[in-house]
Amino acid sequence: MNAIVTLPLVHAERAALVRRRRDSACAELWNALDAVKDPEIPVLSLYDLGVLRDIRRAADGVTVVLSPTYSGCPAMETMEADVRRQLLAAGVRQVVIERALSPPWTTDWMDARARLALKDYGIAPPDTVCCPQCGSHDASVVSDFGSTACKALYRCNACLEPFDHFKPL
């Protein structure tokens, strides 16, 4: 009997984002915004997260489309300020930020590389609760809210280390 191999699916919205960036006329601005990281997870850029959705030339500057992760996420204000600062530093005269709420952001919009970076950073990625220290799946939830509202705090029952799990959404 042949083993069934399940290939990881790329979410349609993630695929669309990758195409948008590839076909964009302002590649240098996408590249500039790679320097803007999630203020709570400095190993992930807003593009890695899928929060940065689009960059468009406007009449007198640039319009940036961002999708908030969790509604009321306090990091959103910081992200917007960082995007603005980065683009102004890149020579853009005016930055308009649009918040796109539909379709709502989900953790599925992160790509595989982002999930690996999360794990290396010590946060269990959304897919599965798995201890980033020892890889054990035997863990107990300590608190539904970890260091931030978007993470839950677990304790590994194998190595006893506490760790954050990025909650799937």
- The torsion angle over the Cα atoms of residues 71, 77, 83 and 88, rounded to 10 degrees, is 150
136 is an interface residue for Zn ion by CB under 5 A:
yes
# residues near Zn ion by CB under 5 A: 7
158 is an interface residue for Zn ion by CB under 5 A:
yes
- Of 78 and 133, nearer to Zn ion (C-beta) is 133
Q: Which of 134, 141, 142, 169 is close enough to bind Zn ion by CB under 5 A?
A: 134
156 is an interface residue for Zn ion by CB under 5 A:
yes
- What lies within 8 Å, CB to CB, of 73 at 6+ separation is 149, 150
- Of 63 and 133, nearer to Zn ion (C-beta) is 133
- Report in angstroms how near the CB of residue 155 gets to Zn ion at its nearest: 9
133 is an interface residue for Zn ion by CB under 5 A:
yes
- Report in angstroms how near the CB of residue 134 gets to Zn ion at its nearest: 3
Stretch that binds Zn ion, among 35-43, 77-85, 105-113, 156-164 (CB under 5 A): 156-164
DSSP letters, 34-82, are TT-EETTEEEEEHHHHT-EEEEEEETTEEEEEE--SSTT-THHHHHHHH
Contact 131, 123 (CB under 8 A): no
- Report in angstroms how near the CB of residue 154 gets to Zn ion at its nearest: 9
Per the listing, tokens 């799990």 go with: 165
- Report in angstroms how near the CB of residue 153 gets to Zn ion at its nearest: 14
Stretch that binds Zn ion, among 15-23, 60-68, 74-82, 135-143 (CB under 5 A): 135-143
Polymer length in residues for the chain:
169
144-149, Cβ contacts within 8 angstroms, sequence gap of 24 or more: 147/40, 148/40, 148/75, 149/70, 149/73
Contacts with Zn ion, residue ranges (CB under 5 A): 131, 133-134, 136, 156, 158-159
